[in-house]
Amino acid sequence: MGTLDHFRAAFEALPEAARTAARRAALDAFLAEGLPSTALEDWRYTDLAPLAALPPDALGPDASASTDDAPSTFVDGLDALNRAFAAGGLDRTIDANTRLDAPLRPTARAHQRHRLHLARGSEATLILNTSGDAPFQTVFADITLDAGARLHLIRLNDAGSDAHRITRLRLGIARDANIDMVCVDLGGRLSRHELHVDLAEPGAGVTLNGLYAPTGNGHVDNHIWIEHRAPHCTSRLAFRGIARDKARAVFDGLVRVHPHAQKTDSEQRVANLILSPTAEINAKPELEIHADDVKCTHGATFGQLDEQALFYLRTRGVPEALARTLLTCTFAHDVLQHIRPEDVRARVTQRLLRQMPGGDEMRALQMEGLRMDAQS
Amino acid sequence: MLDIDNLHARIDGQDILKGITLRIRAGEVHAIMGPNGSGKSTLSKLLAGHPDYVVTQGSVRFGGEDLLALDPEARAARGVFLGFQYPVEIPGVSNMVFLKAALNAQRKARGEKELEAADFIAWVRHRVKQMKMDPAMLSRGVNEGFSGGEKKRNEILQMLVLEPKLMVLDETDSGLDIDALKVVADGINLMRSPERAVLLVTHYQRLLDHVQPDFVHVLAGGRIVKSGGPDLARELEEKGYGWLQQAA
């Protein structure tokens, strides 16, 4: 692995007001720790070495003056790196029993460190979008829900083919609170997304729908940990992967049912579509159960497009390439339909179509289809 | 219109069709009947271009052209339609978009202009009405959550929208109640014309009460073992297939 000196150089180039003691301490912690090695089980399929090879001007530490200068402790080197390079982010509490109608959309800084707290019975939508131009971006967020709160969470990544992304979200969910989340990864060169879900009190629930569809040489890694720490909690995870070209995708999901977390209800399904012989998907849903009265399922499938459906479309006159695109869209639609804000859903769908062969034709059809549905 | 000459075909190394010769002229309705496993479905799928079947001998010409040399989509554009025994569900693609994609692709392949959206919608809605279907189905996914009968009705709807020349209907009657059977039969009759031909593949005589065939053929063991007029279907209904299989 190359040297990480350019991380320090990028930091030292910041204006003085940005170089606070806390950020510097975080940088030192990161440099002492280094990047995670592929010898670690959680990093087996994802090598962050390309980060060491990024040009210094690609690193983009936030030049804003920091307000919060309290020293922190770090979970690992990446946590420290995010602390050093981010100058803040969303820091917000939603008042009890209130509902935010407009989605929260943090400004598109390269490095972001958010804290969001939903007080009892509140409801909000948060959209974390890492689709900007920054070659290197880290987004870390600490999200906690008090009893009965609801959060609709969307994490989008449709960055360009040179983009490097690291995200880590911690979701703490209290009694009868619930998060539904949609994760979409369509672009980027190298992405690692971590999601830590803590179902901490009875009745807490989480629903995760995800789509990862890297193209070209892209590499997307989703690592998810769901901790069932209390009885009567529910988790639903349904991810879909599409890999084409020489793309690689990693999915690693662990549902851990702690002792006493009786009546846990958990489902983990991962379906993958491999559209090219040079593409690769490593998907590993796992279960670890330490309670005896639980209902847990998990499974992963890997396949190609349904030949029967392909034949069906072709007998109706649809050319093979378009038929393949149509079926691939269908596969993705299963996830995308869960995106609630219509404008976001439309944009993601358009982007997905753009990266598919015959996508233009499909896009025209789809637009027309929407118009026709409106008229019929 | 369709000339099948000494057709032999296999799938997974197993011979299914063992020398079928059949000529269908424009304006005719042919019924192919036969017991399960006789090769009826194989013949239907093969005519539509299913990639799993390998022709080992013989030929199929459609309008003088070598049909077997064409992709399924090219066959469709020339006017071959297959009504599936088990129509496929395609969730996420609405029936409207599906029909539009199909019709436009066919028109494009034939060098015709695509229909304007408004004309297309009017055309489809007209056909939906003829099939006594709920127009709301157009914005639902293709066959998504449809009952067996609804799926078969949808096959005929697609046929009415696409207006093919040769309609091969593979057990379109199976799984239909009497009312649905009549709607489906009406749809087929609507398409009968001196320029078109129908090949009904069926296990039962029931459909033939509503769609009167000109010729009935019995397929057994991969061959046509008997041909006749509409009376043959009634004879089969009474006697079953046993006597013919023995003869074969």
Predicted confidence at residue B13, as pLDDT, reads 87
Scanning B79-213, the segments in alpha helix (DSSP H) are 95-109, 117-130, 148-162, 178-191
Amino acid at B238: E
- With CA atoms as reference, report the closest residue to A28 among A77, A88, A90, A98: A77
What pLDDT was estimated at residue A264? 97
Residues in B closer than 8 angstroms to A315, CB to CB, are 48-49, 72-73, 75-76, 81-82, 84
Q: How far is B62 from chain A (nearest CA, A)?
A: 15
- Tens of pLDDT, residue by residue over B54-69, are 999 999 999 999 999 9
Q: How far is A340 from chain B (nearest CA, A)?
A: 16
B73 and A319 within 8 Å at the Cβ level: the answer is yes
Region A13-27: mean pLDDT is: 92
Helices H, strands E: what count in chain B? 8, 12
Select from B88, B105, B121 the Cβ nearest to the Cβ of A309.
Answer: B88
Q: How many CB pairs under 8 A join A and B?
A: 107
- How buried is A30 (Cβ within 10 angstroms: 0-12 exposed, 13-18 middle, 19+ buried)? buried
Q: What is the pLDDT of residue A364?
A: 67
- Which B residues in the span 89-108 are in contact with A, Cβ-Cβ below 8 Å? 89-94, 96-98, 100-103, 105-106
Of A248, A256, A241, which Cα lies nearest the Cα of A289? A256
Q: Positive or negative, the Cα torsion across B64, B70, B76, B82?
A: positive
Distance of alpha carbon B47 from alpha carbon B49, whole angstroms:
5
Average pLDDT over residues A11-15: 94
Q: What are phi and psi of A152, to 5 degrees?
A: -105, 120
Cβ A101 vs Cβ A128: under 8 Å: no
* Spatial distance between the Cα atoms of B163 and B152, rounded to a whole number of angstroms: 17
Cα–Cα distance for residue pair A242/A304, rounded to 1 Å: 10
Measured distance CA(A359)–CA(A322) in Å, rounded: 8
Interchain CB contact of B117 with A (< 8 Å): yes
Would you call A327 and B90 a contact, using CB atoms and an 8 Å cutoff?
A: yes
d(CA A88, CA A17): 14
Among all residues of chain B, which has the CA nearest to that of A312?
A: B88
Contacts of B121 in chain A (CB under 8 A): 372, 375-376
Q: Residue B223's closest CA among B12, B11, B15, B3?
A: B15
Give the CA distances from residue A177 to residues A152, A161, A230, in Å, rounded to whole numbers and listed in that order. Answer: 11, 37, 13
The span from the CA of B192 to the CA of B197, in Å, is 7
What are the residue boundaries of the structural domains of chain B, listed by start?
A: 2-247
In the prediction, which pLDDT does A260 show? 93
User: How many contiguous H segments (helices) and E segments (strands) does chain A have?
Assistant: 8, 15
SS3 breakdown of chain B: % helix, strand, coil, rounded to 5?
40, 30, 30
| pLDDT value of residue A357 | 72
pLDDT bin (cut points 50, 70, 90) of residue A334 is: confident
Nearest CA in chain A to B100: A365
**Tell me: the pLDDT tens digits for B20-46?**
999 999 999 999 998 888 888 999 999
Hey, what are B140's tokens? Answer: 């639902």
Which residue's structure tokens are 């025209």?
Answer: A364
Residues 6+ apart with CB under 8 A from A78: A30, A35, A36, A138, A166, A168
- Going from the C-alpha of A211 to that of each of A136, A150, A169, A216, the distances in angstroms are 21, 22, 17, 17
**What interhelical angle do B95-109 and B117-130 show, nearest 10?**
120
| The domain made up of B2-247 is a member of CATH 3.10.310.10 | no
- Most A CBs within 10 A among B90, B107, B152, hence the mutation to make, goes to B90
What residues have CB less than 8 Å from B88, skipping those under 6 apart? Answer: A306, A308, A309, A312, B142, B143
pLDDT digits (tens, 9 = 90+) for A21-43: 999 999 999 999 999 999 999 99
Token pair 């007998």: residue: A315
Q: CA–CA separation, A59 vs A85, rounded Å?
A: 9
Res A68: pLDDT: 65
| The amino acid at A231 | P
Contact flag A316-B98 (C-beta cutoff 8 Å): yes
List CB contacts (< 8 A) between B167 and chain A. Answer: none
Q: What separation in angstroms does the CA of B82 have from each of A293, A318, B42, B152, B167?
A: 51, 14, 12, 12, 6
Least Cα separation, residue B231 to chain A (angstroms)? 32
- Selecting from A306, A314, A372 the residue whose C-beta is nearest the C-beta of B73 gives A314
Q: Does B162 touch chain A (CB under 8 A)?
A: yes
Nearest to B70, CA basis, from B56, B60, B83, B85: B60
* Partner residue opposite B93 with nearest CB, options A320, A330, A337: A330
Cα dihedral A75→A81→A87→A91 (10° resolution): -30
Position A1 scores a pLDDT of: 45
User: Cβ separation of B72 and A314 shorter than 8 Å?
Assistant: yes
Contacts (Cβ under 8 Å, ≥6 apart) of B126: none
Give the closest residue to B212 by CA, choosing from B195, B227, B234.
B234
Sign for the CA dihedral angle at A126, A366, B91, B74 comes to negative
Flag if A317 and B162 touch (Cβ within 8 Å).
yes
Among all residues of chain B, which has the CA nearest to that of A334? B92
Please give the pLDDT value at position A3. 83
Please report the pLDDT score of residue A376 as a whole number. 46
Contact A121, A100 (CB under 8 A): no
Q: Is B134 on the interface with A (CB under 8 A)?
A: no
pTM exceeds 0.80, yes or no: yes
Question: Inter-chain contact B105–A317, Cβ cutoff 8 Å?
Answer: yes
Q: Work out the minimum CA distance from A312 to partner chain B, whole angstroms.
A: 7
Residue pair B201/B32 in contact (Cβ under 8 Å)? The answer is yes
Q: Residue B24 and residue A359: Cα distance in Å, rounded?
A: 40
> CA of B221 to nearest chain A CA: how many angstroms apart?
25
**What's the confidence (pLDDT) of residue A367?**
57
Look up residue B180 and give its amino acid.
A
Mean pLDDT of B70-81: 96
Sheet of B2-11: strands edge to edge?
B14-24, B2-11, B54-62, B65-66
Mean pLDDT score of chain A, rounded to an integer?
A: 91
Interface of A with B in 279-338 (CB under 8 A): 306-309, 311-320, 322-323, 326-327, 329-331, 333-334, 337
Backbone angles phi, psi at A122, to 5 degrees: -90, 170
Which class for A207: exposed (0-12), middle (13-18), buried (19 or more C-beta within 10 A)? middle
Instruction: State yes or no: pLDDT of A363 exceeds 80.
Output: no
* Distance between A333 CA and the closest CA of chain B, angstroms: 6
pLDDT tier for residue B97 given thresholds of 50, 70 and 90: confident
Q: What is the DSSP letter of A323?
A: H
Chain A CB contacts of B103 below 8 Å: 317
Q: Give the pLDDT band of residue A358 (cuts 50, 70, 90).
A: low
Taking an 8 Å cut-off on Cβ atoms, the answer to whether A337 and B92 are in contact is yes
CA distance B30 to chain A (A): 21
Rounded to the nearest angstrom, the minimum Cα separation between B90 and chain A is: 7
User: Residue range A321-341: average pLDDT?
Assistant: 89
Q: Are A97 and A121 in contact (CB under 8 A)?
A: yes
Residue B215 has pLDDT above 50, yes or no: yes
Tokens read off for A76: 């690992």
- Which amino acid is present at A124? A
Task: Give me the interface pTM, i.e. the ipTM.
Answer: 0.94
Report the phi/psi class of residue A212: left, alpha or beta, with left for phi > 0 and alpha for psi in -120 to 50. Answer: beta
Give the closest of A317, A330, A373 to B92, CB-based.
A330
From the list A309, A315, A326, the residue facing B76 with the nearest CB is A315
Mean pLDDT lowest among A256-270, A348-362, B98-112:
A348-362
Q: Determine phi and psi for B144, rounding to 5 degrees.
A: -70, 115
Give the pLDDT mean for B193-212. 91
Mean pLDDT across B111-115: 91
The dihedral through the CA atoms of B34, B36, B42, B47 has a sign that is: positive
Closest-CA residue of chain A to B124: A376
Whether B176 shows a pLDDT value over 80: the answer reads: yes
Tokens of A222: 């989703």
- pLDDT value, residue A88: 80
CB contact under 8 A, A330 and B88: no
Taking only residues 199 to 238 of chain A, the set having a beta carbon closer than 8 angstroms to any beta carbon of chain B reads none
